[in-house]
Amino acid sequence: MTTATVTGKPDEPVVATRNYLTEGGVTLRSWLLTRDHKRIAILYTLSITFFFFVGGAAATLIRLNLVTPPGIFTPDIYNRLFTLHGVIMVWFFLIPSIPNTMGNFLIPLMIGAKDLAFPRLNLLSWYLYVGAGLLALFAILIGGVDTGWTFYTPFSSLYSNGYVVLALAAVLAVGFSSILTGLNFIVTTHRMRAPGMTWYRLPVFVWSNYATSVIMVLATPVLAITLILVAAERLLKVGIFDPALGGDPLLFQHLFWFYSHPAVYIMILPGFGVISEIVPCFARKPLFGYRFVVWSSIAISIIGFFVWAHHMFVAGISLYAGLVFSLLSYVIAVPSAIKVFNWTATLHKGWISFDAPMLYALGFIGLFTIGGLTGLFVANLAFDVHVTDTYFVVAHFHYIMVGGMVSAYFGGLHYWWPKVTGRLYPEWWARIAALLIFFGFNLTFFPQFILGYLGMERRYYSYPPEFQAWNILSSAGASVLAAGYALPFFYLGWSLFRGKRAGSNPWAATGLEWQTSSPPPTHNFDRTPTVTRPPYQYRPEPEPQDV
């Protein structure tokens, strides 16, 4: 266990006297008006955690309802619950999760900069996010929005009751928040790198956040305008999505998925980045095929713009469109496969240790592989005709997003926890949580693949009795998963006050972020570092590098 060897003695490294947590004041005002990327990252982490638990609570109620048909809730309440779960989890957790917390905290550190290029925009982005989040909660909880996170027209524009326009406005606002973040990251990566930090010396985490930012900047505005069109259609009863008014509902789906398919890459690419940091560190080996990993991220962000209509194979698109979009969806699987192979090959002939971040990373690779492979099932035209809109798709999506992305989020949270807080988390509790999450996750979502093939449709508050056994298994898994997610909340909170001091580099990791003190000072580095080597120059014997 690496941690024990480095910081065994309780009185060893003391917290850096100058750090971003205390420098510049500890008043609420100093936090709410801060321009420090690290403090903003903390603000984001707190608010994202809040929304994660809100979305998680909705998921828990959904699984509870599905234990026994027809369940405990009325259909209207159930419909609001899955709308709440979808909207909150997609826009207020998954999309901002890694970029806005870890990306915000780490990108300047990793490239040797003092801050992001536009600190004020960064703060504005957080205010937009929080405002939008509260507005979304209000719209869904008080206004009873029941459209699902996809807002399909003409249901959302003319039939649904509830504060749909308000929910659309909330998503629009959070969209601008992510545009600002993406813009900030792109400019920072281009213009703020330390001397010697060439593009090929950038950590993969920076590369993948860069690829993510490109999608945020280019796809989100299309979502924005689509939402404006739906809202206008709803308010004015004139619009181009409703056939009764002369419009076309498929136009909405094209526009919506033009954003929302790239958006799933917004959600997963930063996860790839986190895993690419963790695996070399705990295998004590350079990342296998660095350039392949880098360019596969870029390839994903580009090809990701050309596969949107694979969500519409049964929606009434032409046969030829179906053939082309299915083929492109197969093509985009290639760069993802490259990554999985490279992480696996990184393990070969390494000195592997199994600290909690590594457990999450290994879990990520496994679950993402399953998610990716089932992605090839649903990209298959004939197969998709049978399973689209069933729990098969739900399971596939959650394998990528929860099994993949949330594992990466927790892995990164543990990996950088000592850097962010200056304290170590309790290792054994963390390992238990990682294993609980892994098993709970599989128990929750694997049965849903089978349910989907059997024909259980999504967004059903009730279902025929022959589906019940699998649903009970799934709900049982969900309770394990919930426990797994609650656990870190407690032990990480405990470690804030009682955790051992971490020192600047507890994992003996390479990377500029580990060369400054923990927690880092406000402007990150006492002297701007100069970079002379490519990333991940790990040596077999772990030794602390900050002495």
Partner 1 sequence: MSEAGPLPRPEPQYATAGQQAEAAAFGMWVFLATEILFFGGLLLAYTWLRASHPEGVAEAGRHTKVVIGSVNTLVLLTSSLTMALAVHAAEQGRRKALTRLLAVTALLGLLFLGLKGYEYHGEWTEHLVPGLNFHEDSPHARTIELFYFLYFLLTGIHGIHVTIGIGLIAWLALRARHGAFSARHYTPVEVTGLYWHFVDVVWIFLYPLIYLVGRSGP
Partner 2 sequence: MGSLQLLPPTASAHAADMDWLFAALLGTSAFILLLVFGLMILFCVRYRKNSKVERGNRLGRTWRVEVAWTTATFIAFLGLYFWGAGLYVDIHSPPKDATDIYVVGKQWMWKIEHPGGQREIDTLHVPVGRPVRLVLTSEDVIHDFAIPAFRIRQDALPGRYETLWFTPTEVGDYRLFCAEFCGTWHARMGGSVVVMEPSDFQRWLDSQDQGPSLAQEGEALFRSYGCSGCHGDAGTVHAPRLEGLFGRPVPLEDGRTVIADDRYIRDSILMPKAEIAAGYPPIMPSFVGQIGEDDLLKLVAYIKSLAGRTADTTQAGSVERPAQ
Q: How far is the CB of 36 from partner 1 (least distance, A)?
A: 10
- If binding is defined by CB under 8 A, does position 187 make contact with partner 1? yes
Q: Using CA atoms, how far apart are residues 100 and 318, in angstroms rounded to an integer?
A: 39
- Please choose, out of 37-45, 87-95, 199-207, 465-473, the segment that lies near partner 2 by the rule CB under 8 A: 465-473
Q: How far is the CB of 126 from partner 1 (least distance, A)?
A: 17
Q: How far is the CB of 217 from partner 1 (least distance, A)?
A: 5
Question: Which CB, 248 or 546, lies closer to partner 1?
Answer: 248
Binding mask 249-268 for partner 1 (x = CB under 8 A): --x---x--x----------
Q: Using CA atoms, how far apart are residues 293 and 276, in angstroms rounded to an integer?
A: 8
- If binding is defined by CB under 8 A, does position 340 make contact with partner 2? yes
Q: How far is the CB of 450 from partner 2 (least distance, A)?
A: 6
Taking CB under 8 A as the criterion, the residue among 209, 301, 390, 495 binding partner 2 is 390
Q: How far is the CB of 331 from partner 2 (least distance, A)?
A: 8
Write the single-letter amino acid at 434.
Answer: A
**Two tokens, residue 278:** 């963790």
- If binding is defined by CB under 8 A, does position 245 make contact with partner 1? yes
Secondary structure (H, E, C), 107-176: HHHHHCCCCCCCHHHHHHHHHHHHHHHHHHHHHHHCCCCCCCCCCCCCHHHHHCCCCHHHHHHHHHHHHH
- Three-state DSSP state, 474: helix
Binding mask 64-103 for partner 2 (x = CB under 8 A): -----------xx--x------------------------
Cis peptide before 520 (omega within 30 of 0): no
Question: Which CB, 134 or 218, lies closer to partner 1?
Answer: 218
Size of the site for partner 2 (CB under 8 A): 87
Close Cβ partners of 370 (under 8 Å, ≥ 6 residues apart)? 399, 403
- From partner 1, partner 2, none, which one binds at residue 326 (CB under 5 to 8 Å depending on kind)? partner 2
Query: Distances from the Cα of 478 to the Cαs of 192, 267, 341, 394, 445, in angstroms?
Result: 44, 22, 30, 14, 8
Query: Looking only at residues 138 through 157 of this chain, which bind partner 1 when binding is defined by CB under 8 A?
Result: none
DSSP-assigned beta bridge partners for residue 390: 457
Nearest to 296 by CA among 310, 325, 276: 276
Q: How far is the CB of 120 from partner 1 (least distance, A)?
A: 9
- If binding is defined by CB under 8 A, does position 171 make contact with partner 1? no
- From partner 1, partner 2, none, which one binds at residue 277 (CB under 5 to 8 Å depending on kind)? none
Question: Which CB, 23 or 248, lies closer to partner 2?
Answer: 248
- Please choose, out of 21-29, 100-108, 297-305, 324-332, the segment that lies near partner 2 by the rule CB under 8 A: 324-332
Burial track 380-407 (b if 16+ CB lie within 10 A, e otherwise):
bbebbeebbebbbbbbbbbbbbbbbbbb
Q: How far is the CB of 319 from partner 2 (least distance, A)?
A: 5
Size of the site for partner 1 (CB under 8 A): 43
**Two tokens, residue 373:** 């492979």
Binding mask 263-302 for partner 2 (x = CB under 8 A): --------------------xx---xx--x----------
Taking CB under 8 A as the criterion, the residue among 46, 225, 385, 469 binding partner 1 is 225
- Please choose, out of 22-30, 99-107, 326-334, 481-489, the segment that lies near partner 2 by the rule CB under 8 A: 326-334
Query: Distances from the Cα of 273 to the Cαs of 180, 279, 365, 410, 530, in angstroms?
Result: 20, 10, 12, 13, 23
Cis peptide before 286 (omega within 30 of 0): no
- Please choose, out of 17-25, 44-52, 352-360, 503-511, the segment that lies near partner 2 by the rule CB under 8 A: 352-360
Taking CB under 8 A as the criterion, the residue among 25, 195, 316, 493 binding partner 2 is 316
Taking CB under 8 A as the criterion, the residue among 115, 146, 277, 384 binding partner 1 is 115
Asked if 130 and 47 touch (Cβ cutoff 8 Å), the reply is yes
Asked if 115 and 36 touch (Cβ cutoff 8 Å), the reply is yes
Binding mask 143-162 for partner 2 (x = CB under 8 A): ---xxx---x-xx---xx--
- From partner 2, partner 1, none, which one binds at residue 429 (CB under 5 to 8 Å depending on kind)? none
**Two tokens, residue 135:** 């507005």
Residue tagged 């022959």 (tokens): 466
Close Cβ partners of 339 (under 8 Å, ≥ 6 residues apart)? 272, 276, 293, 296
DSSP-assigned beta bridge partners for residue 501: 423
Binding site for partner 1 (CB under 8 A): 108, 113-119, 179, 183-184, 186-187, 190-192, 217-222, 224-226, 228-229, 232, 235-240, 245-248, 251, 255, 258, 523, 528
